[in-house]
Structure 1
């Protein structure tokens, strides 16, 4: 049987009017939460656990403003447990030990503690290990919140004791619903203040919030304050002031960064210039260093375009040079054009695959001798030892190629690393190399 979330206001709580709108409108029950339908839908495992008060230690992984803190608060309310919050940004190991000692004392008295650790990925391994025995004994219900991939940022011992729940960015429609609720609520929200705003302007605010409910409510609160001096109506002009400096989510060193550069690279590889251009623009908009993008774009040219179109590398190097000369924003266009060209032209990773195969043979075969006919023979002694003996000068051979000599150490025999694809310039290269390889095979057989 599910239980209702009991009202447990903290002692000495500041007057509601002094709290930001986003804090005042924080959901008081699971039904009040917007978004997270997959995780908190009726009958879901997590919802059943929360409503029954049988919660478990967990990691909440999701973008800012998606409801991680709110969910942790609701866990404590439904479980009738003490809620204690610390931030890994502000707290050190001494404070962590104090909090854990207090939780142990409550546990001895038969009371539970939900310990919410915000930005848990910022704790180092030693700090993360401090929670382990307390989680095992059950003296705390550990709830860690992170915007970073837990598999990269949290140690395996902590992960093995917690269940990871993935929260999603909140949709525009859900954020609009949260904004409307704040406008209608006369007790906690803006209801009764005479604020008027049409549906289009609400969607503008929701879109600018970029999936972050807390940010959306903050933008609405600022817009309402400005509108109070203009008759109470939030207009397009009002929002122009509020949304002037909006930015999209982008973490220059985190998972979002690597997800987006991966999306850019894979869009180029799949010959989708429109998608590639979108991700390029997204990364620039988020503050990515264009010099980093220039380097990665040049890598795409050698890895995925290769010899199918050697002009790709040339265009990338020239675009990089142009950016170095002009800087942003003028140089950004040169890089954008390089992205478009790479995504639009012929693709081949044959050179990349060939180089990797050659490297593998070098590692496995060890230090093999250079064949005598390929060795340099600058002295009489070297010539007397056979250095250079039997070498055929290619320019003297028919068609300028000496077919009867190998280029590999004798212990290896011939190898074929480079296999051109039938795209772009490599069509011609394949025709020539197939003919030469067949001729060499024939010459070795006759020899």
Structure 2
């Protein structure tokens, strides 16, 4: 531990102060990330046992001395990484993002810098992240690690932020820089250990120390998070690894993609996000019901139609869709989630070509739907429209031909200076998930 912290200290002294310049490998990874479009988010930890979401320690104000009992009976003997990865792959997902450490501070891998981990503190005695990493590699699925900035368990996470109050039983003192070096030491384990190439790190919790959470334009915090020090460390260990941060403000120097929580880019219906959309690759995350971690009483499941439409709307806004499930404490994913993802997979198998590898199309989001594009092909995704005719604004290039995607049904095209009129064989069905018109442009 001491040697690792010394190395981290030396690295921080030599970290570049100038603006971040991504490597060629990193830029290639960004493009591939945008091409992937669809990922599986997994919130899973010792909190799953209480069936009340991943915030249960804070929401129920469980002191550390009591919460530390949870790992002693966390034994997910039915965890099957092959089943998890196969489920994601069959749904059309190209990557997985899993919680390595959530706000409760518990490590879901065999951390050498803290015994508060799944191998040393549970009867399970297995490194779940290593098992998942091996299976992702075997099935060709990329792996990201969600990693919490804030920590309700570590004594040096001080001053405390908006969460994890005095009820935790932590001392009224601490060295925040010591905590940050602890965090960097754990990240070093994940990025230089036995987990192989990691697609990226998905940070969360910066907002815990924000001075004004209501003003989404503020970037001021009560502590110095030393973001560039951590970001430079990650890029030094794995230059292609992408860094995103769910901080709810505009991206900081050193970040590789911008994320939006439970909203499409530019929207802020939940009050979490900035309206500022950067030029970085984009991602929006949402959960299959109303909770992130396993919640026994949450049965507000989104339908396959809702999930597909969210994927399409995200792609039309040039963003990926990261869809969350919260596995049960025994390691199984509940059947409602499995069944919904299987239905989504039927759509991606037939129509995935209209989202994978695309970028936001020449027509911005409209009440009727969105467009995506790949080269000379433009896909008009009609989600809410009940007329056989649809008028698009003038396009950058002329349309050579049009058809209903996946069929030989031609769509009549009339182009004028005022726009492009599409006349379909029939009006979109009222219960259609997505009527797609493929345009071949010059």
More relative contact order in 1 or in 2 (CA 8 Å, sep 6+)? Answer: 2
Q: TM-score, normalised by structure 2?
A: 0.27
Decide which structure has greater strand share: 2
Decide which structure has greater helix share: 1
Decide which structure has the larger Cα Rg and report it: 1
Q: TM-score, normalised by structure 1?
A: 0.27
